[in-house]
Structure 1
Amino acid sequence: MTSRGPRHRAIASGLGIAALVLTAGCQSGSDAASDPTSAGSSPTASGSSVPEPEPTESVPTFAVAEKKVIKVPGASMHPLATYKHLVDYGIVQGWNDGQSAVTFAPEVNRAKSLEAMARNWIKRNGGPKVQVRQDDAIAGGKYSAWHVLDTTSDPVEQKHTFGILFLDSAWLIEITIYEEGFPEPLTEEEAEGVIASLLATFKTDLD
């Protein structure tokens, strides 16, 4: 197993690649990605199928459970096909398997921009030395999401938090990778694939 430092950097850089792949064909130019406050400002009607990330040579795709929905006020996403319902606190939903987990919840947010939302959340959760900012990601193929890595996590897990802001609503997606996963730990590439596959299923109620 690789050390945590190099693995964290690999996942963060890999997510940047995955984000570029996920946005291919979903938007033209770089304006939407470079302006977090405008990301997702023009919702389109959703189809019947769940969006899936494009497969790449290094980042595998993980199947999602299309008939299972993780629903919170204003938005929803789908769990991986291997996930089971773990936590249900109404507005906070948690799912996992033996290798990773996702928690989805709305965020109480007064910030007017994605960047301000990220700063406020990081400040409330230990500061920038604890919640280390990573490259932004893309959720649902079109929504910009800030990304932080929790350096205080239990040494046997990596905790990635993604924040999404759309109109007057905001959401948090927390994805945990178990370093000692069962039946075996995820490789760096598989961890990137889990994160990319989960983020790809996000949509707001207006989609």
Structure 2
Amino acid sequence: MTSRGPRHRRFAPVLGIAALVLTAGCQDGSDASGADPSDPSSSSPSSPTSSVAVPEPTESVPTFEVAENKTIKVPGASMHPLATYKHLTDYGIVQGWNDGQSAVTFAPEVNRAPSLDAMARSWIRRNGGPKVQVRQDDAIAGGKYSAWHVLDTTSDPVQEKHTFGILFLDSAWLIEITIYEDGTPEPLTDEEAEGVIASLLGTFKTDLD
């Protein structure tokens, strides 16, 4: 890859991830019921349709190879790291992996929220409020699970931190994906960053899958 200058931090409502992960499919417990229109953190697009489209790589948003022989396992769910990732953190229920350009942290969330929006509002309130944790368009994890998406506007200036929350039946999970602005051997482009996020989210599955 050719070298490139530093990327601007993205705070737009959608990051282009829709090209790969906003495909479709709501699961039980992930509807928008109970949302409070007056709460800025509760605004989100309408739920995706029930059909599932298989995302295809594009020239502008590449996919990244995942390590099918390695599993990031937490209670109730699992996902795969990128092929370039190394195991960084192991606190039992909290697992972290990274390479020189990005990182993922995967953990269960103790949450009794009645809906995906309620879960997002609760998490945002506990982590600085809607001016700090800015709600983005919802995404899809594992091809079929609705996930709220929040961008941290106050994290380290050399890191861009995205948090995705998934609610299914009586369980909930958090996937935090960090893009290193000063990544090595070189920073990811915006399109590559979107590809990393899409590739990681696509590997999510519950123990019932």
Query: TM-score category by the smaller chain?
Result: 0.7 to 0.9
Aligned in 2, Cα 1:53/1:98: closer, same or farther, shift over 3 Å? farther
Aligned in 2, Cα 1:88/1:155: closer, same or farther, shift over 3 Å? same
> What TM-score, normalized by structure 1, do the two folds share?
0.83
> Structure 2, unaligned stretches of length 5 or more?
33-46
State the shift of 1:53 in Å.
4.8
Bigger fraction of residues in helix? 1
Where does 1:12-161 land on structure 2 (aligned, <5 Å)?
12-20=14-22, 22-23=23-24, 32=26, 36-37=30-31, 53-161=55-163
Aligned in 2, Cα 1:67/1:3: closer, same or farther, shift over 3 Å? closer
Give per-residue Cα distances to partners, 1:102-138, cap 9 Å, x unaligned: 0000000010100000000000000000000001000
Give per-residue Cα distances to partners, 1:140-174, cap 9 Å, x unaligned: 00000000000111000100000000000000000
> Structure 1, unaligned stretches of length 5 or more?
43-51
Residue in structure 1 matched with residue 35 of structure 2 by the alignment: none
* Cα separation, 1, equivalents of 2:181 and 2:128: 23
C-alpha contact (below 8 Å) 1:53/1:197 kept by paired residues: no
* Cα separation, 1, equivalents of 2:66 and 2:121: 31
1:9 counterpart = 2:3: no
Aligned length: 185
State the shift of 1:15 in Å.
1.3
C-alpha contact (below 8 Å) 2:21/2:202 kept by paired residues: no
In the alignment, residue 145 of structure 2 is paired with which amino acid? Y
* Cα separation, 2, equivalents of 1:9 and 1:121: 20
Residue in structure 2 matched with residue 198 of structure 1 by the alignment: 200
* Cα separation, 2, equivalents of 1:36 and 1:111: 10
Identity of aligned residues (%): 78
C-alpha contact (below 8 Å) 1:53/1:61 kept by paired residues: no
Query: Which of 182, 185, 189 lines up with 1:183 in the alignment?
Result: 185
Aligned in 2, Cα 1:85/1:2: closer, same or farther, shift over 3 Å? closer
SS of the equivalent of 2:58 reads coil
* Cα separation, 2, equivalents of 1:104 and 1:144: 16
C-alpha contact (below 8 Å) 1:53/1:200 kept by paired residues: no
SS of the equivalent of 2:73 reads strand
* Cα separation, 2, equivalents of 1:92 and 1:115: 23
Give per-residue Cα distances to partners, 1:58-110, cap 9 Å, x unaligned: 21000000000000000000000000000000000000000000000000001
C-alpha contact (below 8 Å) 2:6/2:187 kept by paired residues: no
Residue in structure 1 matched with residue 36 of structure 2 by the alignment: none
Aligned in 2, Cα 1:118/1:63: closer, same or farther, shift over 3 Å? same
C-alpha contact (below 8 Å) 2:135/2:149 kept by paired residues: yes
SS of the equivalent of 2:31 reads helix
